[in-house]
């Protein structure tokens, strides 16, 4: 953000334009939970955002902080960092007159013993890492558009606390789904009061929703987003997940992005569609990099997919960040087991849907609904750009070299070893991400019944 835009005068003017007296500073962590602080406009302006301790960067989904990361990667004394507001994301808080919310980027620097150098807070920030990847595209005269499809379960906990079942649309309603009613408009209609509020709140927040349907799992729905710029869409998914959870709770049920709440049903996907466009004079005749004017896939599309194929096995932990995430992969129902590709085949990791020449794109079907949207988009675009630069064609079919890790420990080991992923995204982020996820794995393994006592207890509401 420029110094002109980031000034007390501009912060005050932006808040005044919205009639805000209170501003919520929001930071997206690795889990994509919203963390931050609410403060008066006067304090927000005087602080140029707000200050919070760097421990926020080192928190697991359950709120724990592995001791080994402090001093080694993060400040041992929990020093403060500045949350710098991105005024392009300042919007009213839905249903909260006089309040606004803004997404922030962390700013601070400190000495990291494990790295033997000074690090910046942005090196641990998923949102800042996505910005770094987008700058690499800009340097190549390229831009991208993305469109996510996000699945969500509507759930209620069983009275005995030992599981979940389908939600009632309203407390006390006699109607409840008893088996998978995929594509049922009647079941979707029962949740219209919730969806009406969700769409209205999304419009206030600038979230570009385009539709929803009952998906092919018990009590599961899918919400679609219109194509937009990558950072805007990652922001939108981050904000949408929070809105859905908050509004569902007010309606008496849980909106959950957990990977696999029912072992005999499909899991929760977050599929992303990617296209790349040329900019400047190169875009004057035909800007669409992934297709020829007659609609055929271009060599560049194949190079992009080859980059995904080459690097995704090492980055699977970013797309499947919990032990339970791999229930969705190993107990597969249209969840890929290899980094393979195909034309309009939903069993492939990277699918080229049928489309018009202007809309030729690749769909990354690997990420779960529990994945961080910033890291998902950053990794996919970074790997694709690497493929464009190398210019190799992708492998056909399923190969040993494209097998994906089948559990979280193996995925974390692969991520930790990958110098390419470290270089493309952020080596300090990889170290911190791996440390936090191993800590969560150890917590889970210490439970008598890991799925019941950890996954279902925590991830139903927090993933």
- Burial of 196 from C-beta contacts in 10 A (0-12 / 13-18 / 19+): exposed
Residues 141, 283 share a domain: yes
pLDDT by residue (tens digit) across 109-146? 999 999 999 999 999 999 999 999 999 999 999 999 99
Last residue of a domain, one of 121, 156, 183: 121
Give domain status of residue 178, yes or no: yes
Domain shared by 290 and 217, yes or no: yes
Q: Are residues 325 and 420 in the same domain?
A: yes
User: Are both 182 and 53 inside the same structural domain?
Assistant: no
What range defines the domain where residue 36 resides?
A: 8-121
Q: Residue 452: what pLDDT?
A: 95
Q: Are 151 and 216 in contact (CB under 8 A)?
A: no
- On whether both 251 and 388 belong to a single domain, the answer is yes
Which of 121, 156, 189 corresponds to the end of one domain? 121
Q: What is the pLDDT of residues 159-178, one digit of tens each?
A: 887 799 999 999 999 999 99
> Do 195 and 317 belong to one domain?
yes
327 pLDDT more than 50: yes
The CATH number assigned to the domain holding 43 equals 3.10.20.70
Same domain, 184 and 327: yes
Alpha-carbon span 137 to 132, nearest angstrom:
9
Give Cα 320 distance to the centre of its chain: 11
- Whether 291 is in a domain gets the answer yes
What CATH number is given to the structural domain containing 429?
3.30.590.10
Q: Kindly state whether residue 127 falls inside one of the protein's structural domains.
A: no
**Same-domain check for residues 165 and 260:** yes
Could you tell me what percent of the chain has a pLDDT over 90?
88
* Coil, strand or helix at 325: helix
Domain final residue, candidates 93, 121, 149: 121
Query: Is residue 130 one of the residues assigned to a domain?
Result: no
pLDDT value at residue 5: 64
Same domain, 146 and 268: yes
Q: What pTM does this model have?
A: 0.96
Question: What is the DSSP annotation of 27-81?
Answer: EE-TT--EEEEEEEHHHHHHTTSEEEEGGGGG--TTS---GGGBTTTB-TT--EE
Mean pLDDT for the chain overall: 94
Q: Are residues 237 and 380 in the same domain?
A: yes
Does residue 299 fall inside a structural domain? yes
Residues 185 and 332 in one domain: yes
């Amino acid at each position: 953000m420029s110094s002109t835009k980031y000034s007390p005068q501009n912060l005050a003017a932006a808040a005044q334009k919205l009639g805000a007296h209170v501003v919520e500073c929001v930071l997206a962590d690795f889990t994509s939970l919203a963390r931050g602080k609410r403060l008066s406009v006067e304090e927000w302006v005087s602080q140029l955002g707000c200050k919070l301790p760097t421990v926020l960067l080192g928190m697991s989904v359950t709120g724990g902080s592995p001791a080994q990361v402090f001093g080694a990667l993060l400040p041992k004394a929990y020093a403060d960092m500045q949350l710098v507001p991105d005024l392009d994301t300042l919007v009213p808080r839905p249903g909260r007159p006089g309040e606004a919310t803004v997404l922030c980027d962390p700013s601070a620097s400190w000495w990291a013993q494990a790295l033997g150098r000074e690090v910046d807070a942005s090196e641990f920030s998923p949102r800042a890492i996505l910005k770094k990847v987008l700058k690499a595209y800009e340097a190549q005269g390229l831009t991208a558009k993305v469109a996510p499809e996000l699945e969500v379960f509507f759930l209620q906990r069983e009275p005995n606390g030992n599981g979940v079942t389908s939600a009632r649309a309203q407390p006390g309603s006699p109607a409840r789904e008893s088996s998978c009613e995929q594509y049922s408009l009647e079941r979707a209609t029962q949740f219209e009061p919730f969806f009406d509020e969700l769409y209205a709140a999304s419009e206030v927040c600038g979230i570009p929703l385009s539709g929803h349907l009952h998906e092919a799992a018990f009590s599961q729905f899918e919400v679609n987003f219109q194509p937009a710029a990558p950072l805007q869409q990652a922001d939108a998914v981050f904000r949408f997940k929070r809105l859905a959870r908050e509004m569902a709770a007010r309606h008496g049920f849980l909106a959950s992005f957990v990977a696999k709440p029912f072992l005999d049903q499909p899991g929760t996907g977050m599929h992303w569609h990617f296209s790349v466009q040329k900019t400047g004079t190169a875009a004057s005749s035909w800007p669409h990099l992934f297709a020829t004017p007659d609609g055929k896939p271009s060599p560049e599309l194949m190079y992009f997919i080859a980059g995904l194929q080459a690097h995704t096995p090492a980055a699977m932990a970013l797309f499947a960040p919990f032990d339970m995430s791999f229930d969705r992969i190993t107990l597969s129902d249209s969840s890929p087991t290899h980094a393979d590709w195909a034309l309009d085949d939903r069993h492939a990791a990277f699918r080229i849907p049928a489309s018009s020449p202007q809309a030729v794109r690749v769909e990354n079907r690997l990420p779960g609904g529990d994945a961080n949207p910033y890291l998902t988009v950053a990794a996919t675009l970074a790997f694709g750009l690497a493929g464009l630069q190398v210019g190799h064609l992708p492998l056909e079919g399923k190969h040993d070299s494209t097998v994906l890790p089948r559990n979280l420990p193996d995925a974390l080991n692969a991520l930790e070893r990958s110098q390419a992923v470290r270089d493309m995204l952020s080596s300090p982020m990889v170290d911190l991400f791996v440390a936090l996820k191993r800590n969560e794995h150890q917590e889970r393994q210490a439970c008598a019944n890991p799925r019941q006592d950890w996954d279902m207890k925590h991830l139903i509401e927090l993933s």
